[in-house]
Structure 1
Amino acid sequence: MQKGTKQSAKEPGLPPGTLSFVGHRRAETVRIQVVDYDGETADTFQLEQVDDCSNLAGRRANGWIHVSGLHRVDIVERLGRCFQVPPLILEDILNTGHRPKADIWEKGVFVVAKFFAMEPEEETLQMEQVSFILGGNFLISFQESDRPIFKPVRKRLATPGSRLRRCGVDYLLYCLIDLVVDHYFVVVETVGDRIEDLEEALFHGEGEDLLDPIHRIRRQCLFLRKAVVPLRDAVGILRREEGPLGSREIQPYLKDLQDHVFQVLDTLENQREMGTALLDVYLSSMSNRMNEVMKVLTIIATIFIPITFIAGVYGMNFQYMPELKWPWAYPAVWLIMIVVAVLMLLFFRKKRWI
């Protein structure tokens, strides 16, 4: 069973733009980490008070503000006011069951994506929502938990002379989304290995307890596909040349990102078909096994039909039955029964029924 797929429902009838957290609390406290960087320096610090975010707006240096934990609606609302984010976008950020998408408004870009990780021991799929708000020289990222999923990007950003230092926040947005997509490759590779193991177990006759794993694999492919298909459309929106990410510098990277999303989607389609094929093979193997059992039972019952007939004839207690007085009648009846059974087995073997 996939974890993190069921969300608490939002109260119906609320006005549009009403901020309400929809989801499960995945972090003990809300942490806000800020990275100010340019071509030469990169300063990282924790934002202790959300009121201090007003000092972040209007800086000349590029800024990356990462929020871990979404259960504090007041913090998200305060950040939205500091950076002039529309309430409808903040509402989508707090709704952790939102589908991936990309919206472009007059002051920036809003992107929603789903991050997936596979737990190898439990074979469960972990999912959480990540959201990004791109402004002029700042990028705000929101994450449900405090899992360090963006740690590789932080290391690259801390490396002097890296491309992340030299480029703007639009390239940082690309790197973060690309990291999310890279995790898709890890997950689909794990799912593919699991499908191969199930296929090998099926063809080796170990199919008694494989229905639940096969069903789990098919559901995992379905959840992944539901996240990748809208992400493909979102990347297509980001690639529009009239949008904020339409510069020539970032376009090749977005095209490469789109190719990766298409590759993940094609792999998922193949794996979903393989999962369906595995289910068909499993059901066919179970049906064949049942047919084998029924064939054995039918052969046994067919052999015993004439033997039961002979036993029934001599079980009739008529007074005048000459065989009852013969001294060799009992072994003769047994011999006849055995001969009949052997002849029927030879007949079945000749017909290749057994």
Structure 2
Amino acid sequence: MVSIPGRRQKKRRKEVIKRAAAIGAAPGVLVADPQAEASVFSVIGIGGGRGEYHQGVSLDDALARRAAWPLFWLDCSGLADIEAIRRIGAEFSLHPLALEDVVTTDQRPKCEIQADHAFFVMRMLDRAGDGEQLSVFFGDGFVLTFQERPGDSFAPVRERIAKGAPRLHAGRADYLAYALIDAVVDAYFPVVESQVARIEGLEDDILATVDEDQVPELHAVRREMLGLKRWLRPTRDALGTLLRLDRPWLHAETKAYFGDVQDHVDQLIDTNDTYRDTASGLIDLHMTLSAAKTNEVINLLTIISTIFIPLGFLAGVWGMNFNPELSRWNMPLTQSPYGYPLALGVMAAIAAGLLAYFRRRRWL
């Protein structure tokens, strides 16, 4: 995947302008992004060893199903419907500041704890490496997820629910939240592996031959890996907050699973940092090899010039117009029948002598 820096920078500038326009607004005020996609609701109910999945339902229909299931998962894809998001907040007693963070989609990954639920924010990636904000609320008997747009990393979790996975059908919201967060973290691995493959390929290309297009590609992948670092490190800290949490709706067994997710994030961070440093080293290597190649060309041109300087001098001297009949000291060899081959022989001997000298000094 090759990023397009110009487009991403434009997008960042738009976000800054949007946030600047909201300066001074009261805390907890929900304002939809004008470019936000329409909200689509889906619901999964789990209990009694079975699960039920409904996609594209109205919010009224979704909330009406809550009482029928011990574990209720409501997913909102698209954040344009502010009234619906506000209603969900009222239904589940979500803090207004947390709802503001849901619709302000430039949040740093974090975990906030309330008395009866946890609020977890992270970045969800697709295989192209594009990220969107994912907000997860979970407490006793419910899990809520808010995405910027349809299309997520939750397909494996939905399949496990459909197949009757015992742990997911046990009806514990903390385990379902773990499964969702783990699926999002697992989606980072193909992206990181793709970047690793790009860097290793660029390393082989640079060692084979230096090309001017390699440095922009290295800068692009390094910038992407810096972005991953900006998302992964706070995600690890947020998981640490969950591991230290003592609430009745977060079981000790589930904490062990969250610890496993944290180990995966640490692995991603280590790989990302290692190959980001490798990319920086390859940029330095590219500059070194480019300079060496330039010096090699300059050395060759210098040697060629050095060889032709005396030859050009001799040709210039013999090319001067003097009358040899006026003096025997005017232009020797010009009247000799062997003058031309002798002159060429002298020039060839000088060139051969210079080449031998350069080889002896290891300049060739």
Fold shared per TM-score above 0.5: yes
Instruction: Identify which of 334, 337, 342 aligns with 1:332.
Output: 342
- CA gap 1:262/1:244 in 2 versus in 1, 3 angstroms: farther
Higher helix share: 2
Please tell me the residue identity of whatever aligns with 2:357.
F
Alpha-carbon shift at residue 93 of structure 1 (Å): 1.0
Describe the superposition over 1:305-348 as per-residue Cα deviations: whole angstroms up to 9, x where unpaired: 11122223234445562324444333332222222111111111
Report the Cα offset of residue 186 of structure 1: 1.9
State which of 339, 347, 363 in structure 2 corresponds to 1:353: 363
Question: Matched residues in 2 for 1:136 and 1:180: separation?
Answer: 22
Q: Does 1:164 align with 2:168?
A: yes
Deviation, 1:49, is 2.9
**1:12-69 superposed Cα distances (whole Å, 9 cap, x missing partner):** 33222221234854x4x42100111113221222363334455356665210001111
Q: Which residue of 2 aligns with 1:96?
A: 105
Unmatched 5+ stretches in structure 2: none
2:83 is equivalent to residue 79 of structure 1: no
Distance 1:267 1:48 in 2: 41
Alignment correspondent of 1:126: 130
Alignment match, 1:20: 31
In structure 1, distance between residues paired with 2:165 and 2:351? 88
Q: Is the 8 A contact 1:153 1:176 kept in 2?
A: yes
Structure 1: how far apart are the matches of 2:257 and 2:96? Answer: 30
Per-residue CA shift, 1:184-225, capped at 9, x if unaligned?
122222222222212222222254432222122211211111
Q: Tell me, in whole angstroms, the C-alpha distance in 1 between the residues paired with 2:148 and 2:248.
A: 26
Give me the whole-angstrom Cα distance separating, in 1, the residues matched to 2:92 and 2:264: 32
Q: 2:45: which partner in 1?
A: 36
Who is 1:137 aligned against?
Answer: 141
Identity of aligned residues (%): 35
Corresponding residue pairs, total: 347
SS in 2 for 1:118: coil
1:1-354 equivalence runs, <5 A: 1=3, 6-7=11-12, 8=15, 9-10=18-19, 11=21, 12-22=23-33, 24-25=35-36, 27=37, 29-46=38-55, 48-52=57-61, 54-55=63-64, 61-119=70-128, 125-205=129-209, 207-243=211-247, 246-319=250-323, 321-323=330-332, 324-354=334-364
| Equivalent-residue separation in structure 2 for 1:302 and 1:205 (angstroms) | 28
Residue type of the partner of 2:30?
Answer: L
Distance 2:35 2:207 in 1: 41
TM-superposed deviation, 1:87: 1.6
Q: Deviations over 1:233-271 (max 9, x none)?
A: 000001114246642221211111111111111111111
SS of equivalent to 1:67: strand
Kept after mapping to 1: 8 A contact 2:122/2:135: yes
Could you tell me whether the CA contact under 8 Å between 1:23 and 1:95 is conserved in 2?
no
Q: Is the 8 A contact 2:110 2:120 kept in 1?
A: yes
Q: Could you report, residue by residue, the CA deviation over 1:70-93 in whole angstroms, capped at 9, with x for unpaired residues?
A: 233333222222222122111111
Q: Distance in 1 between matches of 2:221 and 2:276?
A: 8
Of residues 2-11 and 279-288 in structure 1, the stretch that sits farther from structure 2 once superposed is 2-11
Q: What SS class does the counterpart of residue 239 from structure 2 fall into?
A: helix
CA distance in 2, matches of 1:277, 1:252: 37
Residues 59 and 300 of structure 1: CA distance in aligned 2, closer, same or farther (over 3 Å): same
Identify if the C-alpha distance between structure 1 residues 236 and 166 changes in structure 2 by more than 3 Å, giving closer, same or farther.
Answer: same
CA displacement at 1:158 relative to structure 2:
1.5
CA contact 1:51–1:78 (8 Å) conserved in 2: no
Question: Does structure 1 conserve the Cα–Cα contact (< 8 Å) formed by 2:66 and 2:72?
Answer: no
Give 3-state SS (helix, strand or coil) of 2:278's partner: helix
Equivalent residues of 1:57, 1:83 under 8 A apart: no
| Residue pair 1:4, 1:127 contacting (<8 A) in 2 also | no
Task: Mark the CA change 1:244 to 1:23 in structure 2 (over 3 Å): closer, same or farther.
Answer: farther
For residues 305 and 92 of structure 1, do their structure 2 counterparts lie closer, same or farther at Cα, with a shift above 3 Å needed?
same
What is the alpha-carbon distance in structure 2 between the residues aligned to residue 60 and residue 151 of structure 1? 21
The TM-score with structure 1 as length reference comes to 0.90
Q: Greater CA radius of gyration, 1 or 2?
A: 2
